[in-house]
Amino acid sequence: MSQPLASAWPLPAMVDPGALSQSPAGASVPGIGGPTAGRDPRLAASLLARNPAASALPAASASQHTPVTRTVNVTSTVPAGKDAASFDPASSRRVASQPMDLTHRSHGGSSVDELVSSVAREFALPESLLHAVVQVESSGNPRAVSPKGARGLMQLMPATARELGVTDSFDPEQNLRGGAAYLAKQIERFGDLPRALAAYNAGPGAVQKHGGVPPYRETQHYVSRVMGLAEQLEQ
């Protein structure tokens, strides 16, 4: 059995998501290829074995700009100069408190739970991690729509879906495979889970700028919730 996520990396303290400021402009996102079914399966195990000191969360400041949930579906290379995801300040806070609904069925008849597990294996990600991301993003509802118009399990914005060739933002498999591809790319890029989750939420540019998880309340809250839930799901 894999090492629990929270023991692999120190969990950041939960922060008050209130009084959030406007998010900064989206950071640039490098091009991402398609699914990586042939990736080294040892990646998932290595994720749970690291404890990088560089991933420690800095103290949040109320005066800092605070980006909000970053969601993305990746089925093709992101055009140069384009931001692959959109920010939605209401989405993560609205859905994260709801219980995960695993009864929804995809077009092929598979439950969300089954699809998440399958896609996690395809991208060599811990199943508990992908389940946690889906819970925080949409509470497992493939028909979820945020006040800003983000849709589906990974809360794609319509413009993002069109740019990346996504034909149906409510299709669970398209959302899951895109989100998993993007998260796996950030894990490979930054080498540890807190920074990868921060990049998924706030953009890799913000993580690079601050040399770790940026001091944004929303991002710190997001990282904490996803990692905490992933640990709970492993128990």
Amino acid 108: pLDDT = 52
How far is Cα 177 from Cα 214, in angstroms, rounded to an integer? 26
Give per-10-residue mean pLDDT for the chain (235 aa): 44 35 31 33 46 40 35 33 34 36 48 93 96 92 86 76 73 87 90 94 91 96 97 93
> Taking the domains of the chain in order of start, what are their residue ranges?
68-73+86-235
pTM over 0.75? The answer is no
Report helix, strand or coil for 156. strand
Distances (CA, A) of 1 to 30, 130, 187, 234, 235: 34, 17, 21, 9, 10
Residues noted as catalytic: 137
Amino acid 163: pLDDT = 62
- Thinking of the domain 68-73+86-235, which architecture would CATH place it in? Orthogonal Bundle (1.10)
